[in-house]
Amino acid sequence: MFHAQFVANSILSREFTPADLRVAMAVTDAPYQKVLADARAWILRRPVVRIKVWSADGTVVFSDEPRLVGRRFDVDSDLKEGFAGKTTSEVTDLRDPENLFERALAPKLFATYTPLYLSPGRTGPPVAVAELYQDYAGIQSQINQLFRELAFALVLGLAALYGLLFPIARRASRTLGDQNAKLRDQAVRLEALLATEQGTVAELRELNRLKDEFVSVASH
């Protein structure tokens, strides 16, 4: 989408005059040949495989495929949104009549419609709509490459985070181990003290019993 906008704003806007886009360009004339040469030099590079410039009535006023120039097709929603100033993209249905000459380019194409302005400030309604076709396999390849790069960066980030956190976790584990050992020692000492206290209580009870027996015998 951004590539199509760049092509429209930075390249095509410099190639045409308003007069060029009022009607379909004559493919044998010099203006068409110049734009075609520039399009092949600067735009038609993989994954971009086709370009069309549309008028509001559905006429192809320019294309790198000369057989399309001057043909008129039904105005679809994407073309209407383009003339409303919006950029839209979709996977192209190659069964559509307008895609007759695109069927041999790739098994699947991704089309982007973007408004074409000739004024420097892009004010007012667009004079035409540019449509760029890209080989979907090339786009998918770029997405896969980006995913691999992101996955690699994520793995590196996790490895770096692990490297930073491992010493902290190790120290924390050692500290917890030391604390657990101290608690176990304290528990052993408490158990020993409790056993001693229980023995003392038993002795006191025995002495109290003997005292009671002595008093009982003495009183008789």
Per-residue pLDDT of 118-139, as tens digits, reads 977 777 889 999 999 999 886 6
For residue 160, being part of any structural domain is answered with no
CA distance linking residue 217 with residue 85, whole number of Å: 119
Which pLDDT score, from 0 to 100, does residue 141 have?
65
For residue 72, being part of any structural domain is answered with yes
CA distance linking residue 211 with residue 220, whole number of Å: 15
Cα dist from 72 to 42, 58, 67, 98, 206, whole Å: 26, 5, 12, 9, 118
For residue 102, being part of any structural domain is answered with yes
- Ranges of beta strands (E only) in the chain are 48-54, 60-63, 88-91, 109-116, 128-135
For residue 11, being part of any structural domain is answered with yes
CA distance linking residue 161 with residue 134, whole number of Å: 39
Which pLDDT score, from 0 to 100, does residue 209 have?
77
Cα dist from 94 to 101, 103, 139, 164, 185, whole Å: 9, 6, 17, 53, 80
Range of the domain at 9: 2-144
Digit-coded pLDDT (tens) for 21-67: 999 999 999 999 999 999 999 999 888 999 999 999 999 999 999 99
Between residues 140 and 123, which one has the greater pLDDT?
Answer: 123
CA distance linking residue 134 with residue 15, whole number of Å: 21
CATH of the domain at 71: 3.30.450.20
For residue 149, being part of any structural domain is answered with no
Which pLDDT score, from 0 to 100, does residue 71 have?
96
For residue 57, being part of any structural domain is answered with yes
For residue 122, being part of any structural domain is answered with yes
For residue 128, being part of any structural domain is answered with yes
CA distance linking residue 112 with residue 191, whole number of Å: 80
Which pLDDT score, from 0 to 100, does residue 138 have?
64
Query: In sequence order, which ranges of 18-115 are alpha helices (DSSP H)?
Result: 30-42, 77-83
Rounded mean pLDDT of the chain? 87
Q: Total structural domains in the chain?
A: 1
Check pLDDT > 80 for residue 145.
Answer: no
